[in-house]
């Protein structure tokens, strides 16, 4: 059989659903246009946008735009050429690394080109086949893929129930026994903020277990960096247990509104990672404009706590308003706001509801369906930012109250889906959105 034949006939669960409901460029790979922020254009319509992880509103902050433009003019996008190990290092790369390490309370840090690749590669570098990984059941896909790299080394791993310390302790006992047999160590992996549910990891309780078990703790704090803690240094700061996090990771793609990531730890651990993380050893260094731009973003996070205060004002208004209206938003303790709706109409009702949210009400937010959530649930994932207003929140609360009644009454099951072809026939095209 031709290798590509199976690709043509099966796009996988996400792609197949998207094509089935004519959703390419609408539900999947949508094209929002205009200035990044709470209000953007989508198929010729102005949208109130709740789908950007631009937590602190830095994406279009004037100082950020100025710093990015100047750095691009001063350095170009090519500098420095080559991998850091060979020819791509610079004083500014190392300066940013020290600033990041100091901010999160670690001895040193290492810049990474991308978060997803960085987590995978860091896990792969930290453990060998003798070592045992114990990880939270709801860890992000990048962590799961890093664990798969460990599995390829024939390493053992155990999964504990989400935020369940009894389950973690059971698996730590198993891991400790196994590590004694293999002569290896134990790495526990969790997250600061779990990006779908908004729940925060029980990092303080995990750190407390170090009194009983010998292990090191790796935390992916992508959604916590910049948003959680007294200074924005993350969930470890929020709980007062940052010292107990041995390897701290975050990305620039959320609060920093950029590209790149970093991992922070003791200086000797970082030195090891610099010489052993394959995703960085064999990749071009982070371009200088992104390094300089990250410095400006970090400066603003440190100097302007009012950005984080405004974010949390919006978060509290949205989440308290949803709860007061009887919406189920789970156990979120972070800006991530999952709105869980009972749905007996399946994917047909889900897509019809989201189309009305966009076409009638001008609200754009991400939709999550089975298999991420149970078949009878629709999850609208809402991300408030510092750039949103309380008026944005009030309007959204009103609209959500209207659509949930329609969903309960079976209105969306009765609607004929409007596909992309029909939209094109009435003149709503991508060119109109420009």
Quick: pLDDT tens for 40-82.
999 999 999 999 999 999 999 999 999 999 999 999 999 999 9
pLDDT at 424: 36
Instruction: Quote the pLDDT of residue 422.
Output: 42
* Local confidence band at 37 (pLDDT 50, 70, 90 cut-offs): very high
The arrangement of strands across the sheet holding 39-42 comes to: 39-42, 45-49, 363-364
What confidence tens digit (pLDDT) does each residue in 314-359 have? 999 999 999 999 999 999 999 999 999 998 888 888 889 999 999 9
Distance CA 287, CA 79 (A): 6
H helix intervals, 304-375:
305-324, 346-359
pLDDT interval class at 148 (50, 70, 90): very high
Cα–Cα distance measured from residue 255 to residue 234, given in angstroms and rounded to the nearest whole number:
11
**pLDDT tier, 22 (very low <50, low <70, confident <90, very high otherwise):** low
Please give the structure tokens belonging to residue 244. Answer: 């107990």
- Of the candidates 229, 254, 195, 138, the residue with the CA atom closest to the CA atom of residue 382: 195
SS3 248: strand
Q: What is the pLDDT of residue 427?
A: 33
- pLDDT at residue 124 is higher than 50: yes
Under a CB-based contact definition with an 8 Å cutoff, are residues 92 and 342 in contact? no
Q: Return mean pLDDT, the chain.
A: 92
Which token pair is 396? Answer: 């959204």
**Residue-wise pLDDT tens digits, 150-181:** 887 888 999 999 999 999 999 999 999 999 99
Angle at 312 between CA 309 and CA 318, to 5 degrees: 145
The pTM score is 0.92
Strand 366-368: give its sheet, edge to edge.
Answer: 337-342, 377-382, 366-368
Residue 423 pLDDT grade (very low, low, confident, very high; cuts 50, 70, 90): very low
User: Does the pLDDT at position 261 exceed 90?
Assistant: yes
Q: Residues near 340 by Cβ (< 8 Å), separated by ≥ 6?
A: 327, 328, 329, 330, 373, 377, 378, 379
């Amino acid at each position: 059989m031709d290798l590509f034949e199976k690709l043509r006939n099966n796009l996988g669960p996400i792609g197949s659903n998207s094509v089935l409901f004519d959703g390419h460029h609408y539900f999947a790979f949508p094209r929002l246009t205009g200035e990044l922020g709470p209000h953007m254009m989508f198929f010729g319509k102005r949208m109130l946008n709740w789908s950007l992880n631009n937590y602190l509103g830095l994406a279009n902050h004037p100082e950020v735009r100025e710093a990015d433009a100047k750095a691009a003019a001063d350095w170009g996008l090519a500098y420095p050429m080559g991998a850091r190990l060979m020819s791509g290092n610079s004083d500014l790369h190392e300066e940013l690394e020290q600033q990041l390490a100091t901010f999160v309370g670690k001895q040193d840090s290492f810049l990474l080109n991308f978060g997803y690749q960085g987590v995978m590669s860091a896990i792969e570098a930290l453990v060998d086949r003798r070592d045992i990984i114990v990880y939270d059941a709801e860890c992000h896909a990048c962590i799961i893929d890093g664990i798969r790299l460990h599995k390829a080394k024939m390493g053992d791993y155990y999964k504990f129930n989400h935020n369940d310390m009894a389950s973690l302790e059971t698996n730590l006992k198993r891991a400790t026994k196994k590590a004694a047999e293999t002569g290896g160590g134990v790495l526990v992996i969790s997250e600061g903020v779990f990006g779908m549910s908004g729940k925060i990891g029980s990092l303080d309780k995990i750190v407390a277990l170090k009194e009983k078990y010998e292990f090191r703790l790796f935390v992916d704090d992508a959604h916590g960096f910049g948003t959680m803690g007294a200074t924005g240094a993350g969930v470890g700061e929020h709980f007062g247990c940052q010292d107990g996090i041995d390897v701290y990771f975050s990305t620039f793609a959320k609060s920093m509104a950029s590209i790149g990531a970093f991992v922070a730890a003791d200086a000797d651990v970082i030195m090891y990672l610099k010489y052993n993380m394959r995703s960085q050893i064999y990749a071009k260094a982070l371009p200088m404009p992104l390094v300089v731009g990250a410095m400006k973003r970090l400066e603003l996070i440190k100097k302007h706590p009012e950005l984080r205060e405004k974010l949390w004002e919006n978060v509290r208004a949205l989440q308290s308003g949803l709860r007061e209206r009887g919406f189920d938003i789970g156990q979120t303790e972070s800006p991530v706001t999952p709105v869980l709706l009972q749905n007996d109409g399946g994917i047909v009702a889900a897509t019809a509801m989201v189309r009305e949210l966009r076409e009638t009400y001008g609200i754009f937010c991400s939709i999550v369906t089975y298999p991420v959530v149970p078949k009878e649930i629709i999850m609208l994932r809402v991300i408030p930012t510092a750039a949103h207003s309380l008026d944005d929140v009030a309007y959204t609360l009103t609209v959500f109250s209207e659509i949930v009644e329609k969903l309960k009454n079976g209105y969306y099951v009765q609607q004929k889906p409007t596909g992309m072809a029909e939209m094109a026939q009435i003149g709503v095209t991508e060119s109109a959105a420009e």
